Every structure is written in structure tokens, then in C-alpha cells.
Structure 1
């Protein structure tokens, strides 16, 4: 599907025309996403000099952060729809030190994916986690592996939500035919922030524990009835290998949890084996 994205940039001196891209917003219809750099230090130094104090640069960062938070607050909930025209109006009004670029198109399966693709394309973030970039690459490669198999595409759900009661978690790929046969999620362990990774995995594992006990539903949006997820569904955790001792430690912890939940742990280099297994599962029905 076609999404539009806008790059948000910091422009300290409009006359000189220097700027730093610091965030993206992407969306279409009711599906929107926002992503910003993890550290504004690079932006705050633009146009400055060695004589600038840390406190002064920090004030610049805070000023930029306030403006970014104002934009992020516009990303809609189910009760607050956002339209392309709303963002265009905002772009016209934002003509100070933080500005929006003109809209550009990108092909993606969700607003989150569109924002991630635009972020990787348009933003240089020296403090960003390597793992995000590697995860996007693996997700795109696995998606392509499914899409070149016409017999599977009609059964493939991308960027879905696995729900048990009021609890839910994201699922990168699911293969369905009357019910869910296979679910796969990509995890990147080549990251700096292993604490955040640990938190995300723990939340995912908690939901999987509920699924193994009671089954659940796969939905495109929260509140929908969706497709049944049986307790015995095949679940895959696709991983990019760690490159630090902290990542190694987190990987070992994750593997232990996945083993207890009956999750298949598959290296990103072998991820296309998931597609072959999906075909086998469908043929067996």
C-alpha cells in the first residue's frame, strides 16, 4: 500500500539552509506512526562552535524535544483520526526552527513499517541502535520470501496483533487458513539497549504463555473478532545474533524462555525455512 511520510527537521538558520533530519511521521487513512531520533545531541550542535557550553546545547535539545512531542501528540488514537490535510496544514504553520518537509510516498504494509523505512532512508542517527536497522532488513527479506510464493500470499497476515482477552502483542507474520497455523516474530540482539529488548521480550513471552494456556485471536486492529489462534500454533522467534556480551546474555535468557513456551528459535540467515514450513502446514490441512 502507498503511505505518505514527512521528514521533521531542525533548521537553526534558515538563511544558511543547514538542517538535521530528526524524525518522521507516516500514515494513510486511520493508520499513522511517528519515529524520532534517540538523541538530539547531533542536532543541538548544528551551527554551533566549540565555545558552546553543554548547558546551552541542552536548552536547544529541550526546545526541539518540546516541538517534537507536540507533533507526536497528533498521531491519532482510535478516537482522534488524522488526515493528510491535517499534516499539510501543520507543515505550513511549522516554519520556525523545527519544520516538516513536503510529503513523499513510500510502499509499505503499515504506517509503522513506512515510518521505519523512511527513517532508515532519511535520517542519520549516530546514537540509534544497530538492531533496529537489522530487524527491518530481516522483516523485509522474510516478507519478500513469502510474497514470491503465490500459494502462500493469500494466507499471509502481516503486522497483526495476537490477543488473549484484553492482553495483546504484535506479530510480524502469521499464516492462516480458517485458523492460525504459524506465527513469526523477528528479534534483533545486536542492540545497545538490552534492557528495552528484555522488557519487550518479556511482554511478548507473557502473551505467548496465555496463548499456550487458552488460545487466542489474531486481529488486524484491536477490538476485532479476528481468526482463532489454537494453543498448539507453531511460533517462531527469528533472531539476528548478538555482538556484545550483554546481547549474548540476553539471548541466552530469551532462548530459555522460548524453549519453555515451545517457540522455535531460528537464525535470520535461515529465516526462509519458515516459508517452507508454512507451506507444509497449509498442505496438511
Structure 2
């Protein structure tokens, strides 16, 4: 688990009275860029407390915040820069003193930003409707857990090659979430989430990724290129590990069964995200083998 920061978003119909109602929360880890925001699902209590004009103001604020976090998350896929730091949340608290106000940033321990919000909504914001919905876990959250597992396993930082590409033969290439390499790849690791809405997109991505990796397994020449342009060779029998956010609904189960056929074909180790430490431990053994 890691330390996250959070603020509760409040609506004050008349800021002069100081009376407020909690309408949502924001939580994130400034060190990794894992941020999330959530609005209460049960709005009846808010409507009894605040007029529509005040609710509209808070809704627009949360929508704008959600959009900013989504854009930052997409940017993080191609850049290591972290646009939202601890001071950013502090400024939000300081700058919003009218109808919308944020509680002072406070620490909370959780695995992900969404998990932090689950805790906040369970203990600080009473919202029964939101607690009944299926939990969504993003692929980026799975990859962050994978990164932490490597750190916990004390894999040297210079061996970690996140967001690399594997080029196979003359025409194929595929993204790799994290590789352990130093001139030669010791392990390839990929994260997938089956607790998402757009399952068709996940299956398409798994199949495209699997097609490229199948050529590697067959024996086509392959090389890995990391974000700094460093090259490493990839053997056909390279250790391949997959970490997944396991399915919960019948639709998610069906999608996973289809993807699992690809994983089996590639002779990959598959681990639920709750057991991600096993991937780090396996990598540690491989690294010790070359030292």
C-alpha cells in the first residue's frame, strides 16, 4: 500500500453560513500520477439541501476535474512528467472558497486512487448507491501495482524498462508494459484489466498483442527497445508474466476466458493483481541468476 492524499468536495449553497453537504472526493498519489475523482450517486440528500443552481456549480467543477485527470492520465502513457503534485491539491483547497470548497488535503493509505475513494465513501461520505456498483479497475492501476512489486522485490532501477516496444521480425512490433532487461531481456510483464466497461476493446488489444508475441515464441528474431532507445535481445523462451484484474461479472468472465486462450498459447504465467508480488519475486530470481 502507498500513501495517497485526498480532499472531500463540498457544496455550500450559502458560504456565509458555513453549512455544507459533501458531494464527492478526489484522491491521488503525487509520486505516480494516480488520481481519481468521484461524485456521490445518491443526489436526493443534496437536492434537499441545495438549490439546483448550486448543484450545477459543483457538478461542473467535478466534471472539469474528471476531464483534467483523464487528460493527465493519457499524457502519462507517453511521458514521465507528473502534472498534479501535492501543491496542486493544496491550491484547489485554497482557491475554492465559495459554493465549491475542498477539505484540507489529508493522507490516506490505499493500493489505488479508486481504492482510496472506496474508503472515503464508506467512512466519510454516506452514499449507498455508489457502494452497490461493480468496481472498475483500470489497466494503469494494474501496471502501477506491477511496478511497485518490482520495487518491493528490489529489482535494480536500471533494469526496469517500462513502456518498451518489442520488434519481431521485419514487420511486427508490440508494446510491453514493463521489461526486465540489460542487453538481454530476462522478463516481459504485461497488465490487463477485465473489470472495465469496454471489454471488446480489451479483447482486441489482447489478440493483437498475442499475435505479435506468438511470432516471438515460434522463433522469429526479436529485440526490445526501451524509451531511452536502448536495445536488448529477446529469446523465444523469455519469461512472460501477465497480471490481471480478475473479472467479476458474467460478461467479464466471458471476455477473460477468450483472452486466457491467448495467454495459454504463449505459455505465460498469469497472476491476479492480488498476487502481483509473485511476479516481482520471480524477476528477483532471474536477476540473481545473472549476477
Structure 1 and Structure 2 fold alike (TM over 0.5):
yes
Counterpart of 1:119 (choices 117, 126, 136) is: 117
2:19 match: 16
Matching residue of 1:236: 241
Q: Which residue of 1 aligns with 2:33?
A: 32
Superposed displacement of residue 280, structure 1 = 4.2
Which structure 2 residues correspond to residues 8-157 of structure 1 after superposition, within 5 A? 8-13=8-13, 15-28=18-31, 32-37=33-38, 40-42=40-42, 44-49=43-48, 62-69=59-66, 71-72=68-69, 75=72, 77=75, 84-105=86-107, 115-116=113-114, 118-124=116-122, 125-126=130-131, 129-130=134-135, 132=137, 143=148, 147=152, 152-154=154-156
Contact 1:218 1:226 in 2 (8 A): yes
Separation of aligned partners in 1, 2:142 and 2:67? 30
Structure 1 residue 256, shift from structure 2 partner: 1.6
Over the residues paired in the alignment, what is the CA RMSD in angstroms? 4.8
| Structure 1, gaps ≥5 residues long | none
Q: What TM-score does the superposition give when structure 2 sets the normalisation length?
A: 0.62
The answer as to whether partners of 1:9 and 1:19 remain within 8 angstroms in 2 is yes
Identify the residue that residue 127 of structure 2 maps to in structure 1: none
CA contact (8 A) 1:138 1:268 kept: no
CA contact (8 A) 2:57 2:99 kept: no
Q: CA shift at 1:119, angstroms? A: 3.1
Residues 181-226 of structure 1: per-residue CA shift (max 9 Å, x gap): 113345454x3x4x4244245335534544646433344xxxx335
Task: Verify the 8 A CA contact 1:10 1:99 in the aligned structure 2.
Answer: yes
Deviation string, structure 1 residues 63-92 (Cα, Å, up to 9, x no partner): 344442465488495699566545433332
Distance 2:272 2:191 in 1: 10
Unaligned runs of 5+ in 2: 123-129, 168-172
Superposition TM-score, scaled by structure 1 size: 0.63
1:175 Cα offset (Å): 3.4
Any idea what the Cα deviations from partners look like across 1:12-54, whole Å, max 9, x if unmatched? 44533331333334425xx6343123x6533x3343349x9xx
The alignment of Structure 1 onto Structure 2 pairs a total of residues equal to: 261
CA distance in 1 between counterparts of 2:161 and 2:118 reads 19
Shift of 1:250: 0.8
